[in-house]
Amino acid sequence: MSYDCNIDIAAYANAIGTTYETLPEVSKKVLANIKTGYRLLSIEERDAHIMAILKRLEEPQISRSTEENLAIFERGWSENLALCRTQGVSLDSLRPKYVKPNSIMRFAGKFIVPENPFLFDDLCTATLNSLFTRYFTDAAAVYEFGCGTGRYLYMLGNLLPRRKLVGLDWTKASGEILKVIAEQTGLPIEGARFDMLSPGDSVKVDPGSAIYTVGAMEQIGTRFQAFLTYLLESRPAIVVHHEPILELYGEPTLYDYLAAFYHRKRNYLNGYLPALQGLERERKIEILEVRRGGYGDPFNEGSSIIVWRPL
């Protein structure tokens, strides 16, 4: 079957709540260099996909304990560490193994069959380039919490050179990868171990820095309060999140209901946006952007955006 539809740059900008004119050139360049063709599913394919989601929701391993989660990430990042040492640091060796080719993905309210099986990941790259350009150009230091392999710090270091980059993660392997990136590329990247569930005071953020998370706060579910307090006390200039946000699904539709159901079963981030909105009402923070990313993997949308700053 042919890919008779296309996510052109204007359609993508619309899906992430911006416009062609305001989308930075770097994101337009990412989109111009990837295949963005797609086709809609037949009724039979859509039924089969919904059934696959329902079956996935029934799997016992859909939710994990904190200990299982840590062990899984430690193992995964150790594999990337070995790859970086043997093949050299690149966006390929830093790509997490859970980034799998998708035969079906979510885009603008529909399940679609993408021509490019890594379209979801590529759209995330375009969005992050856009956010980095918009919000981090003036930052002397940028911190990523739950940075994993550091692939987005590596991307950021090449996009906006000459600023301090710090990656924090609760795994040991993540910090080892950051050291290898710094050694091989000369980028000013450093790392430290940090648990968002129990931040402590060993990691101090330079005041006025930029902070971001990508698919990391999703992992702490409803247990975000200690980390939110830490963020507020760190007095950053700006905080950017690219995460699945439960409250942005419009649950009356089947399409959104399935994503929200999956999100809850995975114990993903829940209640964070209302907590930020409460802080805004108390005039403790200003929320600059809240938008649903509008695209996702076959199961949910890890592409929503929240940008805020302490007052």
**Interacting residue ranges for ligand SAM, rule: CB under 6 A:** 73, 96, 146-148, 151-152, 169-171, 174, 194-197, 214-216, 219-220
Q: Find the shortest distance in angstroms from Cβ 208 to ligand SAM.
A: 23
> Which residue number, 171 or 209, has a Cβ lying nearer to ligand SAM?
171
Residue nearest to ligand SAM (CB): 148
Question: Angle at which helices 66-87 and 172-185 pack, to 10 degrees?
Answer: 20
Q: Find the shortest distance in angstroms from Cβ 206 to ligand SAM.
A: 19
> Which residue number, 75 or 110, has a Cβ lying nearer to ligand SAM?
75
> Which residue number, 72 or 140, has a Cβ lying nearer to ligand SAM?
72
Contact 236, 311 (CB under 8 A): no
Amino acid at 90: S
Q: Which residues contact 197 (CB under 8 A, 6 or more apart)?
A: 66, 220, 223, 226, 227
Within 10 angstroms of residue 131's Cβ, the number of other Cβ atoms is: 22
> Which residue number, 74 or 115, has a Cβ lying nearer to ligand SAM?
74
Q: Is the dihedral of CA 86, 91, 96, 97 positive or negative?
A: negative
DSSP state of 105: E
> Which residue number, 113 or 191, has a Cβ lying nearer to ligand SAM?
191
Q: Tell me phi and psi for residue 195, to 5 degrees.
A: -110, 115
Q: Find the shortest distance in angstroms from Cβ 198 to ligand SAM.
A: 8
Q: Find the shortest distance in angstroms from Cβ 174 to ligand SAM.
A: 6
Q: Find the shortest distance in angstroms from Cβ 20 to ligand SAM.
A: 26
Amino acid at 210: A
Helix (H, G, I), strand (E, B) or coil at 184: helix
Helix (H, G, I), strand (E, B) or coil at 231: helix
DSSP state of 160: S
> Which residue number, 178 or 273, has a Cβ lying nearer to ligand SAM?
178
Q: Find the shortest distance in angstroms from Cβ 169 to ligand SAM.
A: 5
Rounded to whole angstroms, the Cα distance separating 79 from 15 reads 34
Q: Find the shortest distance in angstroms from Cβ 181 to ligand SAM.
A: 13
Rounded to whole angstroms, the Cα distance separating 219 from 268 reads 6
> Which residue number, 11 or 192, has a Cβ lying nearer to ligand SAM?
192
